[in-house]
Amino acid sequence: MSIAINAISKRFGDFVALDNLQLDIASGELLALLGPSGCGKTTLLRIIAGLETPDQGQILFHGEDATDTHVRERQVGFVFQHYALFRHMTVFENVAFGLRVRPKKTRPSETEIKRKVHELLSLVQLDWLADRYPAQLSGGQRQRIALARALAVEPKVLLLDEPFGALDTKVRKELRRWLRRLHDEMHITSVFVTHDQEEALEVADRVVVMNKGKIEQIGTPEQVYDAPATPFVYQFLGDVNLFHSRVHDGWAEVGAARFAAEAGDSDKAVVYVRPHEIELSRVATDKAIAGVISHSRLLGATVRLEVDVKDAEVVEVELTRERYQEGGWQVGEPVWLNPREARVYPAA
């Protein structure tokens, strides 16, 4: 089922939660809505679900106006951050619930329900837990059951609101991969909300980056990461160092380093450099930024160094452990920073 969001706006009192959004979701796509807290992700998801009505604009399901269609008729399945399983029902009954409450005419037989529930439980690889109660499951297992329950009614659209947000990092990473594989098998048009850029980049076919009720960029993970349309997207998709600068003759200058800038002479500009895009050197070059290493932190496979730079905030540099050890870098020593890549945006 394809979904078109057409010029949708939503206010809460004076507050504009969504501002004239335009978005086409292809049938079978797995789309991530990514953005900071309060940017309107959940509101958009609730509008797609039919739990919230937009003030302006339309939503089309498969080309047909569904703006006023009731949530029950939209054939959407939901999974929320906080598992909404019924505590007094077994896993089996939780998954069967949506089928049992169907009107008599469309309700499957008891044998059919059994077959279907076991099929879904196998799909989420938890058939062996059918007789347990939610309290006897881990958080990750509960979310998989919640997904099985959402799928039981054969939704045309699956909506997931921070489905793994309450789980610890390791389980979350497992469930991401698992969700991706499941989606590849089922091809249900799915929209999931997250504020975690890694999660969006890893799982989604396309990412919608939102900020303050607007869409900043829509693109594949590669597009939004490698070619951010705005400084906001660039900053939101990964750690970044900011160097404030002024432009001279088409160059933004930071220390002795120069970066091509499109702004006019003496305009303020900001140079953005990701921590892993900086080379360290002990030799002064005419294009480097001088600093002193003030801290080092081990992040597992990489090492993060903090470098104090005159007239700038602390600059973070990320090296692989190998390069860190080869370099023999020490806290307290003077170094030169050579950004390999940089982006220059006009100062806001």
Segment lying near ligand ATP (by CB under 6 A), choices 41-49, 135-143, 303-311, 332-340: 41-49
Contact pattern from residue 189 through residue 228 relative to ligand ATP, giving x for each residue in contact according to CB under 6 A and a dash for the rest: ------x---------------------------------
Contact pattern from residue 154 through residue 193 relative to ligand ATP, giving x for each residue in contact according to CB under 6 A and a dash for the rest: ----------------------------------------
49 is a contact residue toward ligand ATP (CB under 6 A): no
Question: Distance of CA 81 to CAs 23, 88, 201, Å?
Answer: 24, 20, 19
Q: Which helix (H) or strand (E) holds 321?
A: helix 321-327
Number of residues that bind ligand ATP (CB under 6 A): 12
Q: How far is the CB of 43 from ligand ATP (least distance, A)?
A: 3
38 is a contact residue toward ligand ATP (CB under 6 A): yes
Q: Are 333 and 315 a contacting pair, CB within 8 Å?
A: no
Residue keyed to tokens 């002064």 = 284
Q: Which helix (H) or strand (E) holds 206?
A: strand 206-211
Question: Distance of CA 7 to CAs 30, 67, 153, 214, 263, Å?
Answer: 21, 12, 30, 11, 32
Nearer to ligand ATP, 38 or 98 (CB): 38
**Among 37, 109, 111, 330, which residue interacts with ligand ATP (rule: CB under 6 A)?**
37
**Among 23, 31, 32, 35, which residue interacts with ligand ATP (rule: CB under 6 A)?**
35
Nearer to ligand ATP, 45 or 146 (CB): 45
The residues in 10-29 that bind ligand ATP, with binding defined as CB under 6 A, are: 12, 15, 17
Q: How far apart are CA 16 and CA 21, in angstroms?
A: 12
Nearer to ligand ATP, 41 or 144 (CB): 41
Segment lying near ligand ATP (by CB under 6 A), choices 31-39, 129-137, 173-181, 224-232: 31-39
Q: How far is the CB of 325 from ligand ATP (least distance, A)?
A: 39
Q: Indicate the SS3 state at residue 9.
A: strand
Q: How far is the CB of 42 from ligand ATP (least distance, A)?
A: 3
Judged by phi (left if over 0) then psi (alpha if -120 to 50, else beta), residue 162 lies in left
Beta bridge partners of 32: 192, 207
42 is a contact residue toward ligand ATP (CB under 6 A): yes
**Chain CA centroid to CA 252, Å:** 32
80 is a contact residue toward ligand ATP (CB under 6 A): no
Q: How far is the CB of 157 from ligand ATP (least distance, A)?
A: 18
Contact pattern from residue 295 through residue 324 relative to ligand ATP, giving x for each residue in contact according to CB under 6 A and a dash for the rest: ------------------------------
Strand ordering across the sheet containing 302-308:
278-281, 334-339, 289-298, 302-308, 315-320
Nearest CA to 74 out of 191, 181, 186, 176 is that of 191
Q: Are 75 and 86 a contacting pair, CB within 8 Å?
A: no
How big is the chain by its Cα radius of gyration, in Å? 25
Q: How far apart are CA 276 and CA 225, in angstroms?
A: 14
Nearer to ligand ATP, 15 or 170 (CB): 15
**Among 32, 39, 150, 209, which residue interacts with ligand ATP (rule: CB under 6 A)?**
39
Q: How far apart are CA 239 and CA 277, in angstroms?
A: 11
Nearer to ligand ATP, 54 or 291 (CB): 54
Backbone φ and ψ of 19, nearest 5°: -120, 90
Q: How far is the CB of 55 from ligand ATP (least distance, A)?
A: 13
Q: What is the binding site for ligand ATP (CB under 6 A)? A: 12, 15, 17, 35, 37-43, 195
